[in-house]
Amino acid sequence: MTPLRITVNGREHVLPAPPETTLLALLREHLGLTGAKLGCDVGDCGACTVLVDGLAVNACLMLAAQADGRSVLTIEGLATPDALHPIQQAFERHAALQCGFCGPGVILSAKALLDANPAPTAAEIREALAGNLCRCTGYAKMITAVHAAAQALHGATDERSPRATPVPRLPLPGGGTGGPR
């Protein structure tokens, strides 16, 4: 078992890990970082999203060995001991999360987007968050929160209201969409 050298949340670690160990298992079981969640274990839900070299990845699908020599950011490394990150502040201010299970993955996906695009449109935000499923809140407040975070971080604004473009909803049996009446 060759030791892995991985930087997590700014701290370098040298850890032995069997070849079949996923990045998610390494983070949760070896480092005690439980913000990334095991949801579907097939890369569909996004609950395990972390940033590897600044890119959002599903940690349940990435082998720990693939992170050797790379930098990983988890939700635990986003804030400082004194303050939440502006994206976390925006999500709190806009009540964009309820149960919090999807929250770490959604917030890190938003960070990857805002690092690459400081002034995203609502459509670009929806695309960036498309790999993150939420069963509680829905996505309208998340889109609003990402716009607010862009403003806080970069002074960026989208001329259109983020509420001007509704998030598409699938029709439910018997009609309706499960959206507001």
Tell me the per-residue pLDDT of 5-61, one tens digit each, with 9 for 90 and over.
999 999 999 999 999 999 999 999 999 999 999 999 998 999 999 999 999 999 999
Instruction: Return the sign of the alpha-carbon dihedral for residues 123, 129, 133, 138.
Output: negative
Integer Cα distance of 154 and 177 in angstroms:
35
Give one word for 75, left, alpha or beta, with left for phi > 0 and alpha for psi -120 to 50: alpha
- The structure tokens listed for 96 are 């964009």
Give the residue from 8, 135, 121 showing the smallest Cα distance to 73. 8
Give me the residue spans of the domains in the chain. 4-77, 86-165
The pTM (predicted TM-score) of the whole model is 0.84
CATH number at 86-165: 1.10.150.120
Question: Hey, do 4-77 and 86-165 end up sharing a CATH topology, with the first three levels equal?
Answer: no
The architecture that CATH gives domain 4-77 is Roll (3.10)
Q: Look over the chain and give the mean of its residue pLDDT values, rounded to a whole number.
A: 88
